[in-house]
Amino acid sequence: MTKISLIGISPISLSFALATKNLSPQPFVSAYSDNQKLFEQVKHLNVIDNGTNNLEKAVEDTNLIVIDSSISEIKSQFEQLKSLVKNYCMITDFSHSKKRIETWATEILPANFCYIAARPLIKKEIPELVNSNPDMFKGIRYCIMESEKSDKDGIEWFIKFIELLGCKPYFLDIHEHDSYTAGIDILLPIISSTIINSLSKSDSWPEMRKFVTHEFEKQTDLANRDPIDTEINSITSSQPLIHWLDQTIKSLYEIRNSIDQNSDDLLNLLIDAWEVKGKIFAGIDEDIPQHVELPSSSQSIASAMFGAKLASRMTDHGDKNLRKSWEYPR
């Protein structure tokens, strides 16, 4: 029997586990979390065969480890796992920065581990654990990237496995993945935060804030993401993110100049965006250009300063009871 070990529990990993329950024979699903309340919340789903706060028990004799943790935790989890698993085992994760994770996997994990650089492109939001749904994996693209820490047999097994879940394998270069993800997933909360900062630092803000409606809340919703998570994702994908920030600044200047010059270009730019979004959500695929502009591979790896900066973010931020409800721990 195949054993799958979840490291961390979220709506995505639970939906993944639920999808495996449609297979025959059903895999044995073990899950690790230091939050015992999570196991109580999902007990009624009957998806986790063994929930534990003991990492060694969770991964004992496992075939596939699926890490669903913050990127800030993954390096230390690799350090723990390397001595706990003795048999051959595949390991993958749901993180956005695959090159960084691949580097850690190559540096830390021993020969019996096969790291699968892969990520499902979940199309629908899964807000809560109770909303976990196996159908979330039906028909979606599942990115598969070549990794220095993978092998042919492991990749082939994983491809067949996700196809049984109803996913469509989508093969691409690991640097392409990180660049596209930086533009699609990491850039947007930064833009939302920038909008809020640019307006709130104005002298007019005390009066302007009275005009805030549900529209403002909707357009800046991504600024609600944990700032530490956004910063860590930004650092681990720094060069691709800078590339897309530069492109965004360029586009903003195009709009700014067209407004200043009372040019018809403004309407054309807005129509272009309207049409692109319409095509996306109508499911219309466009041809991929032959020459894709991407940062070089050496640029796409975050600097060595990442480790020190990350460590500083994980320190104690003081007594939360002494903070106002809207204050973020600095």
Domains present along the chain, CATH in parentheses: 3-172 (3.40.50.720), 176-322 (1.10.3660.10)
Q: Which residue has the tokens 């999570």?
A: 38
Q: What is the pLDDT, as a whole number, of residue 322?
A: 66
Residues 6+ apart with CB under 8 A from 103: 301
Smallest CA-to-CA distance from 29 within 67, 69, 59 is with 59
Separation in Å, CA 21 to CA 13, 17, 27, 29, 317: 13, 7, 7, 9, 41
Q: What is the pLDDT along the chain (330 residues), one digit of tens a residue?
A: 899 999 999 999 999 999 998 899 999 999 999 888 888 888 888 889 999 999 999 999 999 999 999 888 999 999 999 999 999 999 999 998 899 999 999 999 999 999 999 999 998 888 888 888 889 999 999 999 988 899 999 999 999 999 999 999 999 999 999 999 999 999 999 999 999 999 999 999 999 999 999 999 999 999 998 898 899 889 988 999 999 999 999 999 999 999 999 998 999 999 999 999 998 888 776 655 555 555 444 444 434 445 555 555 555 555 656 666 655 556
Q: Which residue has the tokens 């935790």?
A: 73
Separation in Å, CA 104 to CA 13, 92, 114: 21, 12, 13
Task: Measure the CA–CA gap between 96 and 155, rounded to whole angstroms.
Answer: 19
Q: Which residues pair with 92 in a beta bridge?
A: 66
Burial class (CB in 10 A: 0-12, 13-18, 19+), 126: middle
Q: What is the pTM of this model?
A: 0.81
Q: Which residues pair with 7 in a beta bridge?
A: 32, 67
Q: Is 279 helix (H, G, I), strand (E, B) or coil?
A: helix
Q: What is the pLDDT, as a whole number, of residue 298?
A: 40
What is the Cα gyration radius of the chain?
22
Of how many residues is the chain composed? 330
Q: What is the pLDDT, as a whole number, of residue 296?
A: 45
Pick left, alpha or beta for residue 44 (phi over 0 → left; psi -120 to 50 → alpha; otherwise beta). Answer: alpha
